[in-house]
Structure 1
Amino acid sequence: MFDFCVVGGGMVGSATALGLAKLGFKVAIIEPCMPVPFDPEQPPDMRVSAISLTSETLLQDLGVWDKIKNMRLCSYKRLSVWDKPSCRTNFNCSDIAQPHLGHIIENRLVQLGLHTVIAANANVVFYENLKVTNITSTDVANITLEDGQIIQAKMLIGADGGHSAVRDAANIGVQGWQYAQQALGIQIKTYAGQQDITWQQFTPDGPMAFLPLYDGFASLVWYHNAADIRHLKSLSKEKLKQHILQHFPADLVDFEVLDVASFPLTRMHANQYFKGNTVVVGDAAHTINPLAGQGVNLGFKDVAVLLRVINDALTTHDHSAILQQSHYCDWLKKYEATRRRDNLVMMSAMDLLYSTFSNSNMPLTLIRNLGLKLANHAGPIKNNAMKYAMGL
């Protein structure tokens, strides 16, 4: 019998499992598709995340950050956002006395770093490359795997993404929608020095963003309607490059197109973050428009708060006691109250940003350009906004 079973060994699920193990709990973690081991000769992955300073602190506390650094990452010190070139808001890490604003890292490498540390922790049993076929949960959670194994745990944690089987098994409802636009991710190799800036220009058709990676590699993100995304994906690399040069801002240095992938944009929010002895974290609890790169950072905030409320409960009760229903409802309510409010604020802010900038209405265009121009000279207000976005 495990204390916790975490379904989903991605970045958020692995961080949850490792954090619980470090608190002294016996943890099972299930991942149906283990990541490919790291090889420095591998090209960069398509899926990358902007890891905030707060997420970096969590990974340091879990003993994972050095493992990730020993693979590869790219720190960024500057961030620029604009509509018209004359109306930029520029952020710099020096303005908030930090060495950087964050790091762009391949998702797989964060996951591998976590898995490396998990493998050395005797409190965790990893069930690799196995799908969950059935979940039942009353007083005890029973998780059946495709090879017939049945895992039993006092608490069940769903970290299995936006289409969470754990959330569905617990009958936790959701609210949300799919946005009209999609995003095209374009992996490129630049012919310039290593970039330390990430930027995003807003247009009525959607944002265009640049994310630097290691050794001159980078990712472009191009938001557009589904038909245009399909057309762009169908182009040869050379023709796609010509389209990028025609539409992206002049800030983009010379480059070569390596690979492309598209993904839908979805907002989803669980109606509750726990039910009985089942808890959801990360994308199983919320998915957000990726405009500001907050997705996985919100998931890591879920992890940090969940670990904190559990650790607080351990100051007055032992490990066995806080997993009893008479106690776990208390710390789960604290987790839900803290994280649901914060996630809703961020989701609403991204929706406001999305609707404000995906609009060619002339009065609104003038207002948003004026707002960006004023924001760039707002001093402490701008710096506080930057700190909030970085999770400080």
Structure 2
Amino acid sequence: MTQAFDIVIVGAGMVGAALATGLGREGFNVAMVDRAPAPTFDSNAAPDIRVSALSAGSEAYLQSLGAWDPILAMRTTPYRRLAVWDEAPHPLSKLLPRAANHVEFNADGLNATHLGHIVENSVTQKGLWQAAEAEPTVSILAGHGVSRITQNEASATVTLENGQELAAALVIGADGAQSRVRDMAGIGITKDQYSQQAMIISVRYQGEVQDITWQGFYPSGPRAFLPLYSAGAQYPGESRGSLVWYDSPAEIARLKSLSDEALMAEIQKAFPQELPPLTHIEDRGSFPIARQHAKHYYSGRVVLAGDAAHTINPLAGQGVNLGFQDAECLQGLLKEARRGGDDLASTHWLGLYEQQRRPANRRMMLAMDLFYHLFSNTIPPLHLARNLGLGAARALPFARNKVARYAMGLDSQPPAIFREITNRLPMPNWL
């Protein structure tokens, strides 16, 4: 027997669950499908190794979905400051003050209470599942993968691995970077693997919870600190944090092979002096870094959102924020399509979605790619250029804060100078 829905969403991660909740709130009859079971949360457990820096814009969207309060009720860490600096040695390093190549963004300068929150991915997903479950028109089909998608002029049929069939006007692929929905729809991608990998390390450190997240840039790649929450009465005077170490695959493999004690010593030696004293390593993992972009965001009755449509260098933690922007945009356009009595898979509305989201995603991808190549080298002219850029950012707080407001999702459009720079750069074929 075939079940009928308005929309079937494949993928119940953060972006998929946000779409299910938002569309359910608009009265759409939605099925959300995922092979994985429902996310769980244990307040006594160590933090999920996967965390994201949710921007203020993402917080506002999650609030509109009724998911933000459940997320806050679990655990989140607000940050009020964000700092970046260049740690690459150069001939003038000993002559210039360290602050010369140091830029800090502060919530006070943006008339905001905070810049964002560091949240475990599982916590965000759990909050969104709770919000989706509260919507009477949302059906969650967990534990089932998709084996086939067929389309005709009137509808699309999603066949699950257990043989169950779901018919809908539109199928949304929110099933991540390795999207099967994208493959089934015949949508190609352009992909570029970076020469670096990223190692994530969950740690405890001595001291109170910090209100700053920072990245120090080295020729081999950045090293970042993200504050988490207090370690609690079990570990008095300690807090939890997440470290990210970008380096060559060989170096990451070497680091992963070390004991906790040896790795802690390497971290304290290799990270900037701002790193608080570590007391314990709780977990570690690594992943390759790749940039990819779908050649089209839709095909027939299938449309893509989040990592299924694009993945970005994680330098500034913009990946999930871009995914939430996709979800919010698509949700709004589908609402307008229904209001006009149009087919939800109309090329007019899906075309508008791609027209709105592809340039914004492309702009951020290009900026992060430029940032990556500018900082991950020791070429003297580029070293000079990046230090001049950091110096200019320090000297021009208004322009710096405009860029920060755009990255936070507080301004919908980037500042003019940001658009001018990205528009003048040669457009790579992967965009």
Question: Residue 142 of structure 2 aligns with which residue?
Answer: 128
Distance across 1 between alignment mates of 2:107 and 2:344: 45
Question: Residue 64 of structure 1 aligns with which residue?
Answer: 67
TM-score (norm 1): 0.96
Alignment of structure 1 residues 113-152 onto 2, 5 Å:
113-139=127-153, 140-152=155-167
Moved more, 143-152 or 73-82: 143-152
**1:377 deviation in Å?**
2.0
Matched, 1:251 2:265: no
Distance across 1 between alignment mates of 2:11 and 2:357: 20
Distance across 1 between alignment mates of 2:229 and 2:181: 36
Instruction: List 4+ stretches of structure 1 deviating above 4 A.
Output: none
Q: Which amino acid aligns with 1:251?
A: E
Distance across 2 between alignment mates of 1:355 and 1:132: 38
Counterpart among 167, 172, 175 of residue 160 in structure 1:
175
Q: Is the 8 A contact 1:3 1:323 kept in 2?
A: no
Q: Which amino acid aligns with 1:102?
A: G
Matched, 1:229 2:252: yes
Distance across 1 between alignment mates of 2:68 and 2:52: 15
Matched, 1:94 2:108: yes
Structure 2 residue runs without a partner (length 5+) = 88-97, 231-238, 411-431
Question: Residue 95 of structure 2 aligns with which residue?
Answer: none
Counterpart among 53, 58, 63 of residue 56 in structure 2:
53
Moved more, 132-141 or 288-297: 132-141
Distance across 1 between alignment mates of 2:181 and 2:152: 13
Q: Which amino acid aligns with 2:85?
A: W
Question: Residue 20 of structure 2 aligns with which residue?
Answer: 17
Distance across 1 between alignment mates of 2:175 and 2:46: 26
Q: Is the 8 A contact 1:201 1:207 kept in 2?
A: yes
Matched, 1:269 2:283: no
Distance across 1 between alignment mates of 2:182 and 2:50: 24
Counterpart among 349, 364, 367 of residue 385 in structure 2:
367
Q: Is the 8 A contact 2:218 2:376 kept in 1?
A: yes
**1:260 deviation in Å?**
0.7
**1:91 deviation in Å?**
0.3
Distance across 2 between alignment mates of 1:110 and 1:138: 36
Matched, 1:214 2:226: no
Q: Is the 8 A contact 1:188 1:259 kept in 2?
A: yes
Matched, 1:331 2:349: yes
Distance across 2 between alignment mates of 1:278 and 1:367: 44
Distance across 2 between alignment mates of 1:39 and 1:176: 37
**1:224 deviation in Å?**
0.3
| CA deviations over 1:205-252 (Å, ceiling 9, x no partner) | 000000011112110000000010000000000000111111100100
| CA deviations over 1:276-320 (Å, ceiling 9, x no partner) | 1110000000000000000000000001111122233344x2xxx
Matched, 1:322 2:339: no
Distance across 1 between alignment mates of 2:7 and 2:283: 39
| CA deviations over 1:329-351 (Å, ceiling 9, x no partner) | 21111110010000000000000
**1:372 deviation in Å?**
0.6
Distance across 2 between alignment mates of 1:196 and 1:147: 48
Distance across 1 between alignment mates of 2:38 and 2:265: 34
Cα 1:260–1:35 shift into 2, 3 Å: farther
| CA deviations over 1:113-172 (Å, ceiling 9, x no partner) | 111111121101110111112222223221121222111111100000111111111111
Matched, 1:108 2:126: no
Q: Secondary structure at the match of 1:46?
A: coil
Q: Which amino acid aligns with 2:269?
A: Q
Distance across 1 between alignment mates of 2:45 and 2:147: 33
Question: Residue 318 of structure 2 aligns with which residue?
Answer: 294
Q: Which amino acid aligns with 1:218?
A: G
Q: Secondary structure at the match of 2:48?
A: coil
Distance across 2 between alignment mates of 1:32 and 1:8: 8
Distance across 2 between alignment mates of 1:101 and 1:281: 25
**1:324 deviation in Å?**
5.6
**1:363 deviation in Å?**
2.3
Q: Is the 8 A contact 1:35 1:108 kept in 2?
A: no
Q: Which amino acid aligns with 1:220?
A: L
RMSD over aligned Cα atoms: 1.1
Matched, 1:391 2:409: yes
Distance across 1 between alignment mates of 2:255 and 2:405: 36
Q: Which amino acid aligns with 1:20?
A: L
Distance across 1 between alignment mates of 2:317 and 2:152: 37
Structure 1 residue runs without a partner (length 5+) = none
Q: Secondary structure at the match of 1:213?
A: strand
